Amino acid sequence: MVTFPDFWDYDYYYFNAVNEAHKQGKHLCVLKSRRKGYSYKGAAMLCRNYYLIPNSKSYVYASNKQYLTDDGILTKAWDYLDFIDEHTAWGKKRAVNTQLRKRAAVSMKDEYGNQIEVGYKSEIIGVTLKDNPDVVRGKKANLILFEEAGSFKELGAAWQIARPSVENDGRAFATMIAFGTGGDEDSNFFTLKDMFYKPKGYNCLELDNIWDENVGDTKCGFFIPQYTNMDIRDE
């Protein structure tokens, strides 16, 4: 059964930050606690592009396939697509319909008998980067999400390799968002932490650091503390 998410106050702040990053030509680094629904929010952003932006390409990068598929962001996105296609007038036929990629298009023959592709031609694509960050090179996109960035040892290399594909003279025309949590047993947290505390070096949106003590007038990325989006259903 597909359920619809609750909307929380911190979701408002998050999407404000996403919009502000886009306006400033920046990307976004998000450091969060667990169970705050960011895979669902990311899936919703992918689906928005798929249904509303013709010829768009939205990518999700992860260090392991399980972060995309098992109960990951792509599984959630595919559930959304299936629901929308079945229950609304926004449904679109899929020329590609695999576990890691969906493409809204239809193959047909033109008046000359040539095989052509017609339709919206928007795509959602998942890419596994394990030990090979170079696979992101040259992938021009409307949106790129880095899933489970706190467990992503290739994050730093992949981020810098991807930047030229979504920036023009240092200004982002498409948004990259890295979000993740530190402290996992297999965590590769260093790069995400560096991005969070030095957002300018990664062309990320800079926000006032109101979280740490005695840090002066310093900047950081977007932080979601544990006490936000709390629900008695979590107890």
Q: What distance in Å separates the CA atoms of residue 195 and residue 83, rounded to the nearest whole number?
A: 36
- The verdict on residue 76 lying in a domain is yes
- The verdict on residue 155 lying in a domain is yes
**How would residue 186 be classed by pLDDT, with cut points 50, 70 and 90?**
low
Model confidence at 42: pLDDT above 90: yes
* Rg, the chain, Cα only: 18
- The verdict on residue 21 lying in a domain is no
pLDDT tens figures, 133-179: 899 998 999 999 999 888 888 899 999 999 999 999 999 999 999 99
- The verdict on residue 104 lying in a domain is yes
Model confidence at 32: pLDDT above 60: yes
Q: What distance in Å separates the CA atoms of residue 229 and residue 219, rounded to the nearest whole number?
A: 24
pTM over 0.85? The answer is: yes
**How would residue 77 be classed by pLDDT, with cut points 50, 70 and 90?**
very high
Q: Are 174 and 102 in contact (CB under 8 A)?
A: no
DSSP string, 121-187: --EEEEEE-TT-GGGGTT---SEEEETTGGG-TTHHHHHHHHHHHHEETTEESSEEEEEE-S--TT-
Count of domains for the chain:
1
State the pLDDT at residue 153: 84
**How would residue 188 be classed by pLDDT, with cut points 50, 70 and 90?**
confident
**How would residue 189 be classed by pLDDT, with cut points 50, 70 and 90?**
confident
- Residue 128 pairs with which residues in a beta bridge? 62
Model confidence at 1: pLDDT above 70: no
3-state secondary structure of 188: coil
* Domain of residue 120, residue span: 26-230
User: Do the strands 94-97 and 101-104 form a parallel or antiparallel pair, or are they unpaired?
Assistant: antiparallel
Two tokens, residue 180? 């993740």
Two tokens, residue 39? 């895979």
pLDDT tens figures, 114-126: 999 999 999 999 9
- Residue 167 pairs with which residues in a beta bridge? 172
Q: How far is CA 79 from the centre of its chain?
A: 16
Model confidence at 93: pLDDT above 70: yes
Model confidence at 30: pLDDT above 90: yes
State the pLDDT at residue 146: 95
The 3 state secondary structure assigned to 168-180 is: ECCEECCEEEEEE
- The verdict on residue 16 lying in a domain is no
What's the CATH code of the domain at 194? Answer: 3.40.50.300
When mean pLDDT is compared across 37-41, 43-47, 51-55, 148-152, the lowest value belongs to: 148-152
- The verdict on residue 5 lying in a domain is no
pLDDT tens figures, 198-234: 999 999 999 999 999 998 899 999 999 888 777 655 4
Question: How long, in residues, is the chain?
Answer: 235
State the pLDDT at residue 37: 84
Handedness of CA 122, 128, 133, 134 (dihedral sign): negative
- The verdict on residue 158 lying in a domain is yes
- The verdict on residue 18 lying in a domain is no
